[in-house]
């Protein structure tokens, strides 16, 4: 069994509190990994790789990257003496809008994640058909 490396992680994102999604460049393509964790304890997880091992080798590697990410975020918060939540609460709607727009315009994956997260806000342009839930956008993982 070959090693798995954090350097093969293409993207890592906390999509909602404690829910992480990663893309990993493996020998058989890009694997989609989801892990529910607070950085200490592992909850539900999945990986789209063809490995017969459970959990496969990608789960601990992604967990290591998550732990590092949480640590880095804590370091930044300690430098500025404020939590990210505290900062967000101080922003005006306009500041938040402009900053978020800049992020979304530069990251199609993040834009897709936003449409999926807020799919209940999408209304159809024409007709009375109700918005379809969880169907718009490209699903960020395959199962």
Please choose, out of 54-62, 92-100, 104-112, 135-143, the segment that lies near Zn ion by the rule CB under 5 A.
54-62
Tokens 């290591």 belong to 64
Rounded CA-CA distance 107/100 in Å is: 11
Question: What are the start-end ranges of the E strands in the chain?
Answer: 9-16, 19-26, 29-37, 42-47
Residues 94-133 that bind Zn ion (CB under 5 A): none
Shortest separation between residue 37's beta carbon and Zn ion, angstroms: 16
Q: Dihedral of the CA atoms 69, 73, 78, 81 (nearest 10)?
A: -170
Shortest separation between residue 82's beta carbon and Zn ion, angstroms: 37
Q: Which of 9, 56, 61, 113 binds Zn ion (CB under 5 A)?
A: 56
Q: Which of 9, 12, 22, 49 binds Zn ion (CB under 5 A)?
A: 49
Nearer to Zn ion, 34 or 58 (CB): 58
- Spatial neighbors of 88 by CB under 8 A, at least 6 apart, are 96
Please choose, out of 6-14, 49-57, 70-78, 118-126, the segment that lies near Zn ion by the rule CB under 5 A.
49-57
Binding of Zn ion at residue 58 (CB under 5 A)?
Answer: yes
Nearer to Zn ion, 53 or 118 (CB): 53
Please choose, out of 7-15, 55-63, 86-94, 104-112, the segment that lies near Zn ion by the rule CB under 5 A.
55-63
Rounded CA-CA distance 4/31 in Å is: 12
What is the chain's percent helix, strand, coil content, to nearest 5? 40, 20, 35
Tokens (6 digits) for 70: 């949480």
Binding of Zn ion at residue 34 (CB under 5 A)?
Answer: no
Contacting residues toward Zn ion, per CB under 5 A: 47, 49, 56, 58
């Amino acid at each position: 069994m070959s090693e798995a490396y954090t350097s093969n992680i293409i993207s890592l994102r906390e999509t909602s509190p404690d829910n992480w999604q990663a893309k990993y460049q493996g020998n058989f393509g890009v694997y989609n990994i989801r892990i529910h964790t607070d950085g200490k304890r592992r909850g539900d997880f999945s990986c789209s790789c063809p490995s017969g091992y459970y959990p496969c080798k990608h789960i601990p590697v992604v967990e290591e990257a998550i732990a590092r990410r949480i640590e880095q975020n804590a370091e930044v918060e300690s430098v500025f003496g404020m939590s990210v939540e505290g900062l967000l609460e101080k922003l005006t709607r306009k500041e938040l809008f402009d900053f978020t727009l800049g992020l979304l315009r530069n990251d199609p994956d993040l834009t897709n994640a936003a449409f999926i997260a807020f799919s209940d806000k999408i209304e159809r342009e024409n007709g009375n058909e109700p918005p379809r839930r969880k169907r718009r956008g490209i699903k960020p993982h395959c199962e």
